[in-house]
A = this chain, B = another copy of it.
């Protein structure tokens, strides 16, 4: 059992975004942004369809959340993402001063903690490993189908 406002609930919403990406033949990574317990932005990886390496779930979610709030700073928001952000996305999250970052699976190859562990804003709280297995399994399955 979990409350509708639990971390698990929001990460499941991010996982739903990742599922949408997989259905579109995009690497399945999803993100949602929460403000005052409401989901104000949802996005998934969209790099292939947009032919744009910058179209990661987090970048699209930050842009959408800022548009929704009319504010480029997201100190009062939490971003849930199914896979550890890359350096680009972590850099974007740093500029946004996001209040809280909740990560699903670690990314030992491309995650920001490998190349730029200190990139986030010092006030950003980070939680890692939430529903990591679900995220990892979805990515594994995606690449197994590709073979």
A116 contacts which chain B residues (CB < 8 A)?
87, 115-116, 119
If over half of A's interface residues share one DSSP class (helix, strand or loop), that class is named, otherwise mixed; here it is helix
**Can you tell how many copies of this chain the complex includes?**
2
Interface 1/0 per residue, A105-127 and B, CB below 8 Å: 00000000001101100000000
CB pair B51 A96 closer than 8 Å: no
Interface 1/0 per residue, A25-62 and B, CB below 8 Å: 00000000000000000000001100111100001001
Q: Taking the complex as formed, is A128 at the interface, i.e. its CB lies under 8 A from any CB of chain B?
A: no
Partner of A72, one of B53, B59, B87, B89: B53
A13 contacts which chain B residues (CB < 8 A)?
none
17 contacts between A and B (CB under 8 A): A47-B72, A51-B71, A52-B63, A52-B66, A52-B67, A53-B73, A53-B92, A54-B59, A54-B63, A54-B95, A86-B95, A88-B89, A88-B91, A88-B94, A91-B91, A115-B116, A116-B116
